[in-house]
């Protein structure tokens, strides 16, 4: 059996842990730069605030309904997520952290357990130790556990936050209840394609012929169908090193000058190099892209990217910055107002599989230097040590006008108790 544990309205719940006065009130959390609504409490959903819509379009609804609005506080959410996942890892030896607020648990050897009681015990423990409410769905496959979790979340009074699909009658009833667009892995394009052949529920989907599903939705869709039929097809996935690493940003203003743009590209390359070293990998290529603001029709438009292959694999910030700068020199054009740029490192290999080259190789002196920089930055804070080609004073900062304190990750912002 598999269990899917999902934190309810996770970002909102994190804010409420430290602001219990917000319980029962409409709360929303905005995306980076306070752009769009990315999390809503049930009360905010009830007053009609749509998910993913720009914040400025909802200002009227916010004021009219007394909605409490927060900027995304990812240091806080990341720390709370780690606490929840740490508790869940004690509930099963096999856990797959699917996202910041979701995890699959494989319940092998739990045949003699009362899974309803076990799920409720997990809920009580997570709520008591972190304050985060969760829903638990349990079934014989991962896709069905997703369906069960949706039912647990939708009907908390009837399910106590835990729902188990453990027989054929429950499976069929759940699939007939679930709309096709709400099935895990069915996106908008597949929904249109399935609606066109009168498939409107998950139950309709599993009645389709295997050949049709494979032809129109590939083997991925076929696996999903079998999983929904109760045939275990989707296995637990172990954490894998990333295949590419990107650092991209939109600028707070248009950049015209090459040197300013170069400084940003170098900083993005350094950030990618740090992430490579964290997962003990090297890369063999880098993509650099730049583009102007497509919304400024009054300005000339230009966008370009380039991939540069290296003569050797590296995770040195110095070498990556050098290659990224060479790439920028090839695509930069004067006379344009650049609004966004980014660096993506690719062809990533494990550090210990590095192949030595006869004539040209990564400078071996860089390795101890990078280790020293990483250690100093870890102790004294990110960006304590920078390359000389980076702006020593500039720190990229998002617009976060409604940011809550980082209660659990910054000593200067811990909660104050008045007695």
Q: Mean pLDDT, the chain, as a whole number?
A: 90
Token readout for 88 is 């869940």
Query: What is residue 358's predicted lDDT score, i.e. its pLDDT?
Result: 65
Residue ranges in 74-179 assigned as alpha helix (H): 74-89, 115-130, 142-154, 156-159, 168-177
61-119 confidence digits (pLDDT tens): 899 999 999 999 988 999 999 999 999 999 988 999 999 999 999 998 888 889 999 99
197-222 confidence digits (pLDDT tens): 999 999 999 999 999 999 999 999 99
Query: What is residue 361's predicted lDDT score, i.e. its pLDDT?
Result: 74
Helix, strand or coil for residue 215? helix
Label residue 243 by pLDDT band (50, 70, 90). Answer: confident
Q: Whole-angstrom Cα distance, residue 282 to residue 353? A: 9
Closest CA to 4 of 74, 99, 128, 117: 99
Residue 224 has pLDDT above 70, yes or no: yes
Residue 399 has pLDDT above 80, yes or no: no
Residue 384 has pLDDT above 90, yes or no: no
Label residue 412 by pLDDT band (50, 70, 90). Answer: confident
309-361 confidence digits (pLDDT tens): 998 899 999 999 999 999 999 999 999 999 999 999 998 988 887 666 666 77
Query: What is residue 109's predicted lDDT score, i.e. its pLDDT?
Result: 87
DSSP-based helix, strand, coil % in the chain, nearest 5: 45, 20, 35
Query: What is residue 34's predicted lDDT score, i.e. its pLDDT?
Result: 84
Query: What is residue 415's predicted lDDT score, i.e. its pLDDT?
Result: 83
Query: What is residue 371's predicted lDDT score, i.e. its pLDDT?
Result: 92
Residue 293 has pLDDT above 70, yes or no: yes
Query: What is residue 225's predicted lDDT score, i.e. its pLDDT?
Result: 94
Q: Whole-angstrom Cα distance, residue 37 to residue 58? A: 9
Q: Is the dihedral of CA 406, 412, 418, 419 positive or negative?
A: positive
Query: What is residue 285's predicted lDDT score, i.e. its pLDDT?
Result: 93
Cβ atoms of residues 312 and 360 within 8 Å: yes
Question: Taking the model in full, what pTM does it have?
Answer: 0.74
162-195 confidence digits (pLDDT tens): 999 999 999 999 999 999 999 998 988 999 999 9
Query: What is residue 55's predicted lDDT score, i.e. its pLDDT?
Result: 87
Token readout for 78 is 């990341």
Overall average pLDDT of the 21-33 stretch: 90
Q: Whole-angstrom Cα distance, residue 417 to residue 81? A: 24
Query: What is residue 253's predicted lDDT score, i.e. its pLDDT?
Result: 82
Overall average pLDDT of the 245-264 stretch: 88
């Amino acid at each position: 059996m598999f269990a899917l544990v999902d934190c309810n309205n996770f970002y909102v719940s994190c804010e409420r842990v430290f602001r219990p006065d917000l319980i029962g009130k409409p709360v929303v959390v905005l995306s980076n730069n306070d752009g769009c609504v990315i999390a809503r409490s049930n009360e905010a959903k009830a007053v009609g605030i749509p998910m993913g819509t720009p914040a400025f379009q909802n200002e009227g609804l916010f004021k009219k309904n007394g909605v409490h609005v927060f900027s995304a506080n990812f240091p806080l959410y990341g720390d709370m997520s780690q606490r929840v996942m740490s508790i869940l890892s004690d509930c099963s030896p096999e856990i797959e952290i699917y996202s910041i607020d979701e995890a699959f648990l494989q319940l092998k050897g739990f045949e003699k357990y009362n899974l309803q009681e076990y799920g409720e015990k997990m809920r009580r423990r997570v709520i008591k130790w972190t304050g985060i409410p969760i829903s638990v769905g349990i079934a014989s496959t991962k896709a069905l556990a997703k369906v069960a979790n949706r039912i647990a979340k939708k009907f908390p009074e009837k399910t106590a936050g835990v729902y188990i699909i453990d027989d054929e009658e429950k499976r069929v009833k759940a699939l007939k209840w679930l709309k096709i667009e709400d099935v895990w892995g069915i996106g908008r394009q597949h929904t249109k394609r399935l609606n066109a052949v009168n498939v409107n529920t998950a139950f309709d989907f599993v009645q389709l012929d295997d050949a049709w599903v494979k032809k129109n939705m590939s083997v991925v869709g076929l696996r999903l169908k079998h999983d929904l039929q109760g045939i275990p097809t989707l296995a637990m996935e172990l954490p894998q090193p990333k295949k590419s690493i990107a650092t991209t940003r939109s600028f707070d203003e248009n950049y015209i000058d090459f040197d300013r743009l170069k400084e940003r590209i170098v900083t993005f390359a350094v950030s990618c190099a740090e992430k490579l070293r964290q997962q003990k990998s090297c890369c063999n290529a880098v993509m650099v892209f730049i583009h102007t603001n497509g919304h400024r029709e009054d300005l000339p438009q230009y966008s370009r990217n380039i991939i540069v292959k290296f003569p050797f694999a590296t995770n040195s910030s110095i070498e990556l910055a050098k290659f990224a700068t060479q790439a920028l020199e090839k695509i930069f054009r004067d006379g344009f107002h650049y609004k966004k740029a980014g660096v993506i490192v690719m062809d990533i290999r494990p550090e210990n599989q590095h192949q030595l080259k006869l004539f040209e190789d990564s400078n071996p002196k860089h390795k101890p230097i990078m280790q020293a920089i990483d250690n100093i930055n870890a102790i004294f804070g990110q960006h304590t040590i920078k390359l000389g080609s980076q702006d020593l004073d500039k720190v990229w900062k998002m617009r976060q006008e409604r940011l809550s304190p980082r209660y659990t990750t910054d000593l200067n912002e811990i909660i104050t108790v008045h007695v």
